Structure 1
Amino acid sequence: MSVTILALTLNEIDGVRAILPRIKRQWYDQLIVVDGGSSDGTIEWCRAEGYDVYVQRRHGIRFAYLEVFPLVSGDIVLTLSPDGNCDPDVIPALLEKMHQGYDLVIGSRYLDDAHSDDDDFITGFGNWLFTRTVNLLHKGNYTDCMVIYRAFRRSLITELDLDKDESYELSERLFGTVISWEPLMSVRALKAQKRVGEVPAGEPPRIGGVRKLQIFRWGAAYYFQFWREVWFWRPG
């Protein structure tokens, strides 16, 4: 199966300089830097180094995914943030598990001896609460249902209706934000009885830049989604 890596950036010039060269060419067939409109030289550096760059038109990580999706050619999609939090050395383990027949493999920050160097008390508790809630409501065994660092079959996006605005709009209107698709992917993969797995990835410290996390609005929107999904969505 062919592999597309999506590296999501927004003003991460220090991170991309350090991380992208560590992603070995034999690991992928296509690599796209998906940029949210950086003004710090991220776009220019990536293009000068020969990386394909897509600059999204609408604000928000969900729209970054949806806009670049028609350009993705790989059977397997691997998503990461090249800000230092996603260790590129984990890529082979993620892909190896995908080649074993999994539909979704998560690079867990908390599996086995893995840990996060980026968590504070609030984010650490939130990730624990969200993952426990998803496991309880949707019969999962995740140690980390939220993280961007994951690999999945490209077809999962349409099979789980992750490309449809209706999957997000109510949560976004209620909490005045634009959310991403990772938590919902985790939930719906369980509901559709997809084969899901994890590998320990940890979370090293970020390299420069500023964390973009909207802790309370995103947290509230995701938590609302987890409960709404109990009744709202059924696999086709």
Structure 2
Amino acid sequence: MKPKTSLCFIVLNELDGCKKDIPNISFNEFDEIFAVDGGSTDGTVEYLKSKNIKVYNQEKKGLNNAYILANDSSNCDNIVVFFPKNSIDTNIIIELKNKLNQGADIAIASRMIAGSLNEEDGKLLKYRKWSSLMLANLVSLFFRKNGPKVNDILHGVKGWKKNIFNKMKIINKGVSIDLEMVLKGYKLNAKITEIPTKEKSLIGRKTNFPFWSTGLKLLKYLFFAVFFEK
């Protein structure tokens, strides 16, 4: 029997992105579609509801809890999460769904492999890209048992099998989710695959994850995972 797949939009004040991305998505490709909202005040929730998309209000804040709520709210075997920011091609969600159907436990839209594009690729100094690759190498060094190394360890657009996510016992606070899923995926010998995607820079857009503060939180989690987490 073909697995069923949920599509979840994770949003926090993404009205402009939703208006540009949502119309380009084929809803009939998925068995279930819903959104997890972190507290939008710009009309995002109202827009999604106008498109007949069920919206779950995220009572426990933090990116980790957004993913946990997405996983818990799904009634399907597989889940694909997408951030409608008008930063990558929406067709990637179909590719992620297909990879899961083909046997992957986790499928990641990658900005770090051949055929992909990172928003910093046109810059001389690529702080975010370089730090992400450094983290990817460290996590691979400490936790990968076999299989390919994951290069884009911090991209949120991904899909997973619900039973794999449940085994990970994700920490219910903070922003470590993307790093944590790869790290625990390695520990579980999960089949992780990357699909190239091209990311465009959103000039003037304020990020919800500032570079320095987010980076420090991720390093703290990695330290905890290496020395204390079982």
With the length of structure 2 as denominator, give the TM-score of the two structures.
0.88
8 Å contact 1:179–1:221 — kept in the other structure? Answer: yes
Aligned match for 2:135, one of 116, 127, 130: 130
- CA RMSD in angstroms, aligned pairs only: 2.1
Partner-residue secondary structure (3-state), 2:91: helix
Distance in 2, matches of 1:6 and 1:207, equals 25
Q: What percentage of aligned pairs have identical amino acids?
A: 23
Where does residue 165 of structure 2 map in the other structure? 157
* Residue in structure 2 matched with residue 57 of structure 1 by the alignment: 59
Deviation at 1:113, TM superposition (A): 2.2
Deviations 1:86-113 (A, max 9, x none): 3211122212221121111111011112
CA distance in 1, matches of 2:105, 2:205: 32
**Shift in Å, 1:118:** 5.6
Q: What pairs with 1:77-156 in structure 2 (closer than 5 Å)?
A: 77-117=79-119, 121-139=126-144, 141-156=149-164
The CA deviation at 1:117 is 2.0
Per the alignment, in what secondary structure is the counterpart of residue 23 of structure 2? helix
1:183 equivalent in structure 2: 179
- Worse-matched range after superposition: 188-197 or 123-132: 123-132
User: Which of these residues, 25, 44, 56, is aligned with residue 42 of structure 1?
Assistant: 44
Contact 1:4 1:73 in 2 (8 A): yes
Query: 1:224 offset after TM fit, Å?
Result: 2.7
Counterparts of 1:192-203 in structure 2, within 5 Å, are 192-203=188-199
The aligned length equals: 222
Query: For 2:23 and 2:205, how far apart are their aligned partners in 1?
Result: 18
Q: 1:27-63, CA deviations, whole angstroms, 9 ceiling, x for partnerless residues?
A: 2111112111111111111111211111212322222
What CA distance in whole angstroms lies between the structure 2 residues aligned with 1:128 and 1:209? Answer: 23
Per the TM alignment, residue 135 of structure 1 is displaced from its structure 2 partner at its CA by 1.8
The residue matched to 1:87 in structure 2 has which SS? coil
**Contact 2:77–2:162, Cα closer than 8 Å, also in 1:** yes
1:218 aligns with 2:199: no
- Given the two structures, how large is their TM-score scaled by the length of structure 1? 0.85
Return the alpha-carbon distance in structure 2 between the equivalents of residues 30 and 161 of structure 1: 24
- Offset at 1:209? 5.0
Of 17, 20, 28, the residue aligned with 2:19 is 17
Tell me how far 1:180 sits from its aligned partner: 4.0
CA–CA separation in structure 1 for the residues paired with 2:67 and 2:203: 23
Q: Which moved more, 1:195-204 or 1:217-226?
A: 217-226
Unaligned runs of 5+ in 2: none
Q: What code does the residue aligned with 1:97 have?
A: K
Moved over 6 A (4+): none
The question of whether the paired residues in 2 share the 8 Å contact of 1:11 and 1:209 is answered with no
| Structure 1 residues not aligned, in runs of 5+ | 169-177
